[in-house]
Amino acid sequence: MSYVVLFLATSVIFLVADAVMLRSVIQPIFARHLGDGLYEGGFRLLPAVLFYFVYMFGVLWFAGVPALKAGAPGMALLNGAILGLVAYGTYELTSWAVMRDWHPQMVAVDLAWGTVLTGVAAWGGVLVARAVAG
């Protein structure tokens, strides 16, 4: 039961925060630098859903579950932030290396956001799961 709560809480925190940040900050930055290179409808639903499921699996495996088992929410914050740095760093730095219009501002903002978002979502998920478990 606590793993289901952990998954749901982590996912909701991640998705809500990411939706707000994508719309208000990241999308305008990417639009400014990539223009017509962006998908017209904003995003493709299937790859977005697949990303979130795969990413939530990684967040739980590497950050949420170990921290929940150890009773250490701070561990989830640290491990989640490290995972976010590695995952978003891989995407952003590779894109910057091979794509003509990729801009350092996009790299910096998205890398910082992914690091903070992943750490906070993992931490929050553990806090909620612990609170529900009693």
Q: Which residue has the tokens 């697949």?
A: 50
Number of structural domains in the chain: 1
Say what the pTM is.
0.95
CB count within 10 Å of CB 14 equals 22
pLDDT at 54: 98
pLDDT at 47: 96
Range of the domain at 41: 2-133
Residuewise pLDDT in 10s, the chain (134 residues): 799 999 999 999 999 999 999 999 999 999 999 988 888 877 899 999 999 999 999 999 999 999 999 999 999 999 999 999 999 999 999 999 999 999 999 999 999 999 999 999 999 999 999 999 87
pLDDT at 43: 84
pLDDT at 38: 87
Q: What is the crossing angle of helices 2-21 and 45-59, to 10°?
A: 130
Cα(125)–Cα(134) distance, rounded to whole angstroms?
Answer: 14
